[in-house]
Amino acid sequence: MLNHEAGKTLKQKLPLGMVATKRWLQEQGLSLHYIDNSVRRGALVVAVPGVYYRDEARPTWQGVVASLQQMAKLPVHVGGLSALAVNGVSHFVNKRGNPIVNLYSSDKLPAWVNKIDVGATFAWHGTKRLWPESLLLDQSVFRHYEWAKGLPEITYSCVEKAYLEVLNEVPKHVSFEHADALLQGLHNLSPRKLDTLLKGCLNVKVKRLFFWLAERNQQPWFKYLKSEDYDLGAGKRVVAVNGRLENKWQITVPKEM
């Protein structure tokens, strides 16, 4: 590949604000010699060893997510509280002020992801015990976010899917009270999407917790869901340590709730 052709390929494959690994750039047809020369003349900047961005613009967290989604062999998406924030349902800050970006995939994130300074922390959540592969490929339960004009969009969970992902974090990282407060504001969830997600969801705790909170809040969409249509498993589940047993859904919940 001639240098001017390689330069066009680099700009096309590595938009401003995004990152790329050396291996991925080579897979796109750029030679190791060209990549090393680009670093020497400053056209490529080393973000961390083996990962680069173009010199005109530092990467952003959105750019890192878009890059991961572009380079990943298996699907990766923004989910949980982060997806609710992108959907406009919750706030996108932690106590330190920087966003925590919750990323969901079956494989762990590359080690370099949290070594790049983008003013955000990436938190990985495995999907193997939550979603089947078929749901991770089902575009009806995802949305797409245009973070910069003309650049690859970011894939994130729809509100319904994101909320179930939040429930997977109860009570270790998300409190019962927070999960309850979030659901109080979710008046317009799609029963059709919830049906698809609840039938696909692999996690019994998540499904039982959802039905307990949904029944507690009595949102308009709840009447369209019948718990007997879903596999809620057998036996009791301890969710709240030292909580009381909620007999109908066979989970322990905080005594004060």
Looking at every residue in the chain, the average pLDDT score rounds to 93
Share of the chain above pLDDT 70, in %: 96
Total length of the chain? 257
The reported pLDDT for the residue numbered 2 is 57
- pLDDT for position 74: 80
Instruction: Give the C-alpha separation, 251 to 244, whole Å.
Output: 8
Three-state SS at 148: coil
Q: Are 250 and 236 in contact (CB under 8 A)?
A: yes
Per-residue pLDDT at 174 exceeds 80: yes
Tell whether the model's pLDDT for residue 73 goes beyond 90. Answer: no
Looking at residue 108, the DSSP 8-state letter turns out to be: P
Task: State the Cα–Cα distance between residues 77 and 143, nearest whole angstrom.
Answer: 10
Q: What pLDDT is recorded for position 112?
A: 96
Of 4-18, 80-94, 128-142, 206-220, where does mean pLDDT reach its minimum?
80-94
* Gyration radius (Cα) of the chain, Å: 21
pLDDT computed for residue 98 by the predictor: 80
Note the helical H segments in the chain.
3-13, 22-27, 32-40, 61-71, 80-86, 133-136, 159-167, 176-184, 191-200, 204-217
pLDDT band at 1 (very low <50, low <70, confident <90, very high): low
CB within 8 A of 33, min separation 6: which ones?
A: none
